[in-house]
Structure 1
């Protein structure tokens, strides 16, 4: 037992443990210990174990520690190296706590927990809405890629009695391939090679007027990003990394940069409409995709991303919807390779991916409808996020109002 005590913090039922190290302390890691086997336990030395006397209720002490104002003040008095700072024991011992009679403390705790229960019910409801929005987003993308979101060109043609006269996906693909061949520059690699056609034997049935096409057939460029080390100098060119792709869009909050005179520029500068595919990540995140909308300009991309530039006739957003949909995720799961805890889908596999290609006018309608629905989802998500923040403020307000102002020491 003495050896265990040296490497761990001992505690027993009724003790309050309080994290001393950053960022756990700032995040409010604290609890009243209950139901321990034999009534005792041991934990990390990064916890303080506070043992309430008969004058203080353990849950009252816990709620005092969970006040943001207390934790902010404790953070300002941390000592140690950056990244591993701790609240000194001496600081905690000197802090004053409002200490009403024990029966009043228990009434305060009961009132706090009653209000917290109501708040948690509200939080649970908001989380359910978030989960439903996630499922709805997935359903929208799947319907878009299966021709069920907007009327197809074939259906509209029949409605207008045009006797089947519309440009099919197959005719569009032929035009894309013709243009691709005409624009080929050779690039020192000999004769032009026709891109491989998709193997459709195991692919699903498409709506009338659609066809299957590979990413290679639809694209004019497939390219890995820069592996050069980036920095925080914002006077340079921003470099998008895998963490910047979030839910099919780009998050520009945490950017890194390369010098403006970097020797891979302008070759690795992005253009509006370039699709970025995350080739290496965890199994859950590999393959996430977004389309660059032209800003910031100039802008580049890192080596864990693959840039795909499409020819006329293929709207990049539609391809992004497919890859981010449950259909695209199923393809990723089937081709991904695992390397030292990381999942990878390389450029060769990406170029072989078969994409459903609707007529161009139908692509435009699909993209417009998906954007409309996703914008509604984003608005609701913003409301939910604001309400979750409001819950946190309410929780802190409850604690502040409930704790009285009579000072006494912890002991």
Structure 2
């Protein structure tokens, strides 16, 4: 039988200068509240974190072993992707040794992320951002693992997390957090029932993730077909059927180049853009032409972000960073501001339809981008984001951006410059990007068809995300019942 009344709040949790009160939910009569510390084996360092950063330096790592050093990433389940230290270094750091079956948790950064070190793995070491629990025989590891992943525990954990540069909590406070105890026999039954119900949810989640992956592949295939001329009927085919002439991509390019000559504001004498190298590019449909990016658009780098910028006669304006410019969309969830003079704002202000390209990052992210749609007033861009402004307002910028995000990926990867940590492209390489130019009417049909198909993809993706969120809510509901004594009844009670 469950108790009808609520337990009183936990006595007191001293979280170093702060008192928190954690509300404990009701437990069956045969259960009791204990602490995380009670679950540890009766020996020194049963619950302990990794060595201080200076005690485990980059120079301590050795090639190939023998002792693994775990990271937060390993808590996702892959314990093979590790670095190693020597046996001598392990002996020096063995206070933080991890053995198979130990429970692991992130205590800095992704606080509360939890894993179990698998059986048959060699002894390992944890770094300063992880802790480990070696359990005593009164606790089943999966019972504790599931409770640590429940919202009951995560809510309690949040009361001891300090909001510093990175979220973090101390092992001392962690040991005092509440943990419901029931006899091992019940723990095993609870584990079995949790896993029975989770297996159904896991199957549903696997299917949803498969749908999500298929949608991603379908999206890529739509864009690939669009820029290859296979998505809609070509203007050449329609014109031939209707017995009329049409403006070819080559003629459109000539019109654009004439506009470019007329509006030229660059330094020195006007120079015609170099013809793109198309020797390794796919064959174009009838009526299409090849141009270079700087032949159809004016390109510009952005402002250098410097904390020492002169703020006199300047005002704060929003600016786009590399993190804001993703492949096929803009992430404007976090926008930073910078003091800029009015003359620079006028020069760098983004306009509707500007095409954005990232200058640097990981090699597979070079040149990624999307179009600006005037989401913010007076927004500019930093020097690691390039802007391309089409000379023809009739030409849809999304077509050019799709090309840059599909076939352009290979070009940027090949032409990018690699430094120690990052890859980058310069304005010269971006300028030379070959761009296919279909007839204008065909471009508009392509854009309309892509928008139609991708709108259906977005709707389906939204449904998938909603169902994944619901699956996680159901998972938490199972854990809530499990650790309230409602999932498995005590037959002896």
**TM norm. shorter chain > 0.5:** yes
Alignment correspondent of 2:120: 35
Q: Which moved more, 1:1-10 or 1:68-77?
A: 1-10
The answer to whether 1:200 aligns with 2:269 is no
Alignment correspondent of 2:425: 345
Is 1:80–1:86's contact at 8 Å kept on the other side of the alignment? no
What secondary structure, in the 3-state scheme, does the structure 1 residue paired with 2:344 have?
Answer: coil
Alignment correspondent of 1:177: 257
The answer to whether 1:150 aligns with 2:235 is no
Structure 1 segments, 4+ long, off by >6 Å, are none
Alignment correspondent of 1:22: 108
The Cα shift of 1:204 comes to: 2.6
Q: 1: distance between equivalents of 2:415 and 2:291?
A: 18
RMSD: 2.5
Q: 2: distance between equivalents of 1:51 and 1:305?
A: 49
The Cα shift of 1:288 comes to: 0.2
Q: 2: distance between equivalents of 1:294 and 1:323?
A: 21
The Cα shift of 1:15 comes to: 3.4
Is 1:16–1:62's contact at 8 Å kept on the other side of the alignment? yes
The answer to whether 1:227 aligns with 2:301 is no
Alignment correspondent of 2:37: none
The Cα shift of 1:206 comes to: 1.2
Q: 2: distance between equivalents of 1:331 and 1:316?
A: 19
Is 2:317–2:338's contact at 8 Å kept on the other side of the alignment? yes
Q: 1: distance between equivalents of 2:181 and 2:228?
A: 65
Q: Which moved more, 1:131-140 or 1:40-49?
A: 40-49
Alignment of 1:149-168 (within 5 A): 149-162=231-244, 165-168=245-248
Q: 2: distance between equivalents of 1:5 and 1:200?
A: 60
**Which gives a bigger RCO, structure 1 or 2 (Cα 8 Å, sep 6+)?**
1
Structure 1: stretches of 5+ with no match in the other structure: 407-411
What secondary structure, in the 3-state scheme, does the structure 1 residue paired with 2:318 have?
Answer: strand
Alignment of 1:372-387 (within 5 A): 372-387=452-467
Change (3 A) 1:8 1:276: farther
What secondary structure, in the 3-state scheme, does the structure 2 residue paired with 1:193 have?
Answer: coil
The Cα shift of 1:126 comes to: 1.7
TM-score (norm 2): 0.74
Is 2:325–2:357's contact at 8 Å kept on the other side of the alignment? no
The Cα shift of 1:376 comes to: 1.7
The Cα shift of 1:178 comes to: 1.4
Change (3 A) 1:310 1:57: same
Is 1:169–1:359's contact at 8 Å kept on the other side of the alignment? yes
Q: 2: distance between equivalents of 1:227 and 1:403?
A: 54
Alignment of 1:98-137 (within 5 A): 98-137=180-219
Q: 2: distance between equivalents of 1:80 and 1:372?
A: 44
The answer to whether 1:240 aligns with 2:320 is yes
TM-score (norm 1): 0.88
The Cα shift of 1:261 comes to: 4.1
Change (3 A) 1:344 1:48: closer
Alignment correspondent of 1:409: none
Alignment correspondent of 2:82: none
Q: 2: distance between equivalents of 1:206 and 1:14?
A: 59
What secondary structure, in the 3-state scheme, does the structure 1 residue paired with 2:168 have?
Answer: coil
Is 1:198–1:352's contact at 8 Å kept on the other side of the alignment? yes
The answer to whether 1:303 aligns with 2:386 is no
Is 1:170–1:211's contact at 8 Å kept on the other side of the alignment? yes
Is 2:248–2:439's contact at 8 Å kept on the other side of the alignment? yes
Q: Deviations over 1:116-155 (max 9, x none)?
A: 2222222221221222112111111111111111111111
Change (3 A) 1:191 1:400: same
Is 2:110–2:167's contact at 8 Å kept on the other side of the alignment? no
Alignment correspondent of 2:160: 77
What secondary structure, in the 3-state scheme, does the structure 1 residue paired with 2:319 have?
Answer: strand
Q: 2: distance between equivalents of 1:25 and 1:314?
A: 49
Q: 1: distance between equivalents of 2:433 and 2:89?
A: 61
Is 2:131–2:171's contact at 8 Å kept on the other side of the alignment? no
Count residues with an aligned counterpart. 392
The Cα shift of 1:230 comes to: 7.2
The Cα shift of 1:215 comes to: 1.0
Is 2:302–2:348's contact at 8 Å kept on the other side of the alignment? yes
Change (3 A) 1:338 1:92: closer
Alignment correspondent of 1:50: 133
The Cα shift of 1:363 comes to: 0.8
Choose which of 294, 304, 329 in structure 2 pairs with 1:216.
294
Change (3 A) 1:372 1:322: same
The answer to whether 1:317 aligns with 2:317 is no
Change (3 A) 1:80 1:138: closer
The Cα shift of 1:6 comes to: 4.2
Q: Deviations over 1:26-62 (max 9, x none)?
A: 3x2232652244xx55433544433333332221111
Is 1:222–1:308's contact at 8 Å kept on the other side of the alignment? yes
The answer to whether 1:365 aligns with 2:445 is yes
Change (3 A) 1:138 1:230: farther
Structure 2: stretches of 5+ with no match in the other structure: 1-87, 309-314, 487-493
